[in-house]
Structures are given as structure tokens and as C-alpha cells.
Amino acid sequence: MTEQNTYHHGDLRRALLEEAGRILEAEGAASISLRRLARSLGVSHAAPGHHFSDRAELLSELAADGYAGLADALGEAMESTRPEDWLGATGKAYIRFGMANPERYRMMFGSQLMGEDCPERLRAESSRAYMMLLRASYRGPPDVDPADYHVDIIELFAWSLVHGAVMLWLDGQLGPGVDRETFLALTDRILDEKVGR
């Protein structure tokens, strides 16, 4: 399926992204090289260059996929809970997404792909995820467009909290005393007690 002996690969772009995603979670973003991807897929070393202008563009695509997955996870969390529980539910979903996709998450937030001239899709997917959190924490009148919410204390508070917790976990900064179970119990308790209002 990924192997086709035709001159044209068929869907090299997709294959490149899939292989890159595999390497990402297995070895980290630093191990992703265009030449290695080409080697794995049996194409020439310059073939990837026809689908991504840059190595950065490929990584941005991976990051955009990550934001899309995060936004979806947040959306699902909101669908299965009542609006008054949205903030806590999305927080928990956020933390679980980060723990399930550590390298993906690290790349989304750690590397500075989101510059001035970042790809449009990356910007779109990341702001979609952001809008999810805004919606989850919004408490105002219901007829306001989510794009018109403004960042206020609650939103920054909630997002900072879950984002920081995931980062601390991924970097192993919490020490050996905090295992996976303990961490989840702690964060859930924080979200219940501090965020639920």
C-alpha cells in the first residue's frame, strides 16, 4: 500500500506525513529528516521537496494535525457533558490528549513554528482549538459569537493550568513520586475544585 512500483507514487504527500508522524512519536521531532522519509518510502531524496517547500512546512503540517486532533478531543468532551461542566471536562480532555501524544504535543507548543509567516492551516487549526477552550469557559450571554469573546481571567487561568500541567508531566519535572495515576488524580481534583467555580 505504501509501496508502489510506479514512477509516480500516487499519494506521496500523505505517505510522507504518515511516516513522519510515526517517527515523531517514536523518536521525537528532531529525528524527522526529509531524506530519511524519502528512504523509508523508497523514493529519491529530493522527492519530498516537491510536496513541502521546507522541512518546516512538513513539521507545520504535523502540528496542524495535532491541533485538529486536540480541537476534536475538546469538542467531544463538550458534547458529552452539560455546559456547566464544560470547563472541567475540556481541561481533563486536554490533559489526556497531551499525555497520549507527548511528542506531538511538544512539537505543537515547544518549537516556534507559529511565526508571522506560518502556514494558514496551522493558524486555522490552532485557533480552532483555542476557540474550543473559550467556548468551554464562556459564561456570558449566549448570543455572542465565540470569535468575539475576549481573553479574560478565567480563560487564561484554565488554559494556563492544563497547559502547564501537561508540560510538567511530559518533561518529568514532577519527580519519581508522581506516577501516571497520581498525576491524573491530582489534575482532576484541581480541575474539579479550582476551575468548577
Partner DNA sequence: TCCATATCTTGTCAGCGTCAAGTTGTCGAA
Partner DNA sequence: TTCGACAACTTGACGCTGACAAGATATGGA
Residues 20-79 that bind DNA (CB under 7 A): 32-36, 38-39, 43-47, 49-51, 53-56
Min dist CB 42 to DNA, Å, is 7
CB of 14 or CB of 189, closer to a second copy: 189
Q: Is 150 in the site for a second copy (CB under 8 A)?
A: yes
100 binds, among a second copy, DNA, none (CB under 5 to 8 A by kind): none
7 interacts with, out of a second copy, DNA, none, CB within 5 to 8 A per kind: DNA
Write out the three cell numbers for 34. Answer: 526529509
Rule CB under 8 A: say whether 160 interacts with a second copy. Answer: yes
The Cβ of residue 80 has, within 10 Å, a number of other Cβ atoms equal to 10
Q: How close are the terminal C-alpha atoms of the chain, in Å?
A: 52
Q: How far is the CB of 22 from DNA (least distance, A)?
A: 15
Closest to DNA by CB, 45 vs 194, is: 45
43 binds a second copy (CB under 8 A): no
Q: Which runs of E-coded beta strand occur in 7-122?
A: none
Does residue 143 sit in helix, strand or coil? Answer: coil
Nearest to 46 by CA among 71, 21, 12: 12
C-alpha dihedral, 55 to 57 to 61 to 67, nearest 10°: 110
Handedness of CA 139, 141, 146, 147 (dihedral sign): negative
Q: Is residue 114 a contact residue for a second copy (CB under 8 A)?
A: yes
Which of 117, 108, 110, 17 minimizes the C-alpha distance to 66? 108
Residues that bind a second copy (CB under 8 A): 28, 106, 109-112, 114, 126-127, 130, 150-153, 156-157, 159-165, 167-168, 171-175, 177-178, 186-187, 189-190, 193-194
